[in-house]
């Protein structure tokens, strides 16, 4: 199915939604980077609230396995969010599978830290391509489907939600590729929100604090705790636990962010009918808005 066919199919199926219950009853959602980490956790919460979910990931085997464990209303699809053709095809495949897209969660992201001296330009471009351009690709093709659905039923609303970061709200030392792309993501969210409101599409970012229990931080070999310990980033830290304690102390609510915390913000963004273009912090008070 190509994009034109997918738009027609989505129009035809606008009232053909699974009869489920919950806060996202009947909704069809796509979550990029859904094979693990925040994406998988958010998709789990969405599924339990009645959504049908596409777990779209570069790691398609893991996405398919996770989808199988969810049940009938989940499917794993391949996508490279940094490649527009791959995003377009995944969006078409999602529509072919479920009949439409009501909520698109642009969650896939990568992190490569480094000072200006250490950061290789190719690494900077890679992070930017996934985190910043990947969000543009997501909004471009998700909105094409949602606009078609809006033509079919002008009463309904749809949501594009970017999983941003607290690093999209305050700078992050020796982490400019990541923070710069996330700041840019908020500019995209505000601009997309202004552009897409005429098609009843709300666009919001959620800015989580650190998910310490997820693989990004806690992977025993490649996780950030181990990397920061080995790099001597936390003065005096001798163990992974020392590094963890240092980071935990930064948040007034003394713990890490969880997918459940992020999902609560996502349900708010979907249910709230009078807000768009916002960046919603979920940081335990570590980052406060001005
Ligand atoms: N982990 C944290 O502490 C934290 C904090 C704030 C914000 N975030 C944001 O949350 C999002 C998810 O982070 P996470 O910690 O769960 O990451 P993760 O590394 O655990 O998972 C990311 C997933 O995205 C997939 N992915 C990577 N590149 C991709 C691409 N080009 N196309 C498709 N899929 C791709 C990976 O295969 C993986 O399944 C990111 O946008 C990240 O910036 C994370």
Q: What is the mean pLDDT of each run of 10 residues along the chain (290 residues)?
A: 98 97 98 98 98 98 98 98 98 98 98 92 98 99 99 98 98 94 98 98 98 92 90 91 94 96 98 98 96
Q: What is the pLDDT of residue 136?
A: 99
Interval between CA 98 and ligand 1 midpoint (Å): 24
- Do 138 and 265 share a domain, yes or no? yes
User: Would you say 138 and 104 are in contact if contact means Cβ atoms under 8 Å apart?
Assistant: yes
Distance CA 132, CA 134 (A): 5
- Do 135 and 162 share a domain, yes or no? yes
Q: What is the DSSP letter of 175?
A: B
Domain CATH code at residue 133: 3.40.50.720
User: Would you say 222 and 230 are in contact if contact means Cβ atoms under 8 Å apart?
Assistant: no
Active site annotation includes 132:
no
Q: What is the pLDDT of residue 233?
A: 84
Q: Give the phi and the psi of residue 278 in degrees, each rounded to 5.
A: -100, 160
Q: What is the pLDDT of residue 236?
A: 94
Interval between CA 20 and ligand 1 midpoint (Å): 28
In terms of residue numbers, what domain contains 142? 3-209+258-282
Of 31, 32, 34, 37, the residue with max ligand 1 atoms within 8 A of its CB, to mutate for a pocket test, comes to 37
Where helices occur in the chain by DSSP H, the ranges are: 3-12, 37-48, 60-70, 84-98, 121-128, 134-152, 176-196, 215-218, 224-230, 240-248, 259-271
Q: What is the pLDDT of residue 31?
A: 99
Distance CA 101, CA 91 (A): 8
- Do 187 and 273 share a domain, yes or no? yes
Comparing CA positions, the residue from 202, 182, 9 lying closest to residue 91 is 9
- Do 113 and 11 share a domain, yes or no? yes
The active-site residue, picked from 47, 141, 178, 228, is 178
Report the domain count for the chain.
2
């Amino acid at each position: 199915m190509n994009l034109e066919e997918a738009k027609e199919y989505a129009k035809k199926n606008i009232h053909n939604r699974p009869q489920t219950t919950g806060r996202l009853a009947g909704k069809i959602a796509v979550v990029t980077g859904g094979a693990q980490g925040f994406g998988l956790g958010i998709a789990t919460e969405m599924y339990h609230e009645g959504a049908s979910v596409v777990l779209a990931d570069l790691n398609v085997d893991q996405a398919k396995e996770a989808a199988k464990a969810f049940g009938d209303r989940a499917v794993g699809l391949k996508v490279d969010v940094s490649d527009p053709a791959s995003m377009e095809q995944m969006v078409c495949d999602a529509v072919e599978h479920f009949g439409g897209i009501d909520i698109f969660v642009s969650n896939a992201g990568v992190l490569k830290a480094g000072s200006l001296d250490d950061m290789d330009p190719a690494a900077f471009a890679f992070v930017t391509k996934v985190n910043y351009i990947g969000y543009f690709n997501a909004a471009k093709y998700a909105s094409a489907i949602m606009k078609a659905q809006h033509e079919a039923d002008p009463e309904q609303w749809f949501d594009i939600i970017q999983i941003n970061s607290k690093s999209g709200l305050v700078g992050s030392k020796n982490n400019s590729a990541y923070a710069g792309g996330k700041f840019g993501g908020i500019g995209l969210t505000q601009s997309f929100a202004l552009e897409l409101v005429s098609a009843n599409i709300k666009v919001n970012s959620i800015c989580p604090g650190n998910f310490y229990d997820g693989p990004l931080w806690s992977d025993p070999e490649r996780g950030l705790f181990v990397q920061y310990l080995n790099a001597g980033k936390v003065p005096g830290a001798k163990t992974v636990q020392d590094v963890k304690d240092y980071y935990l102390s930064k948040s007034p609510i003394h713990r890490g962010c969880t997918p459940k915390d992020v999902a609560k913000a996502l349900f708010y963004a979907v249910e709230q009918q009078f807000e768009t273009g916002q960046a919603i912090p979920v940081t335990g008070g570590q980052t406060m808005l001005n």
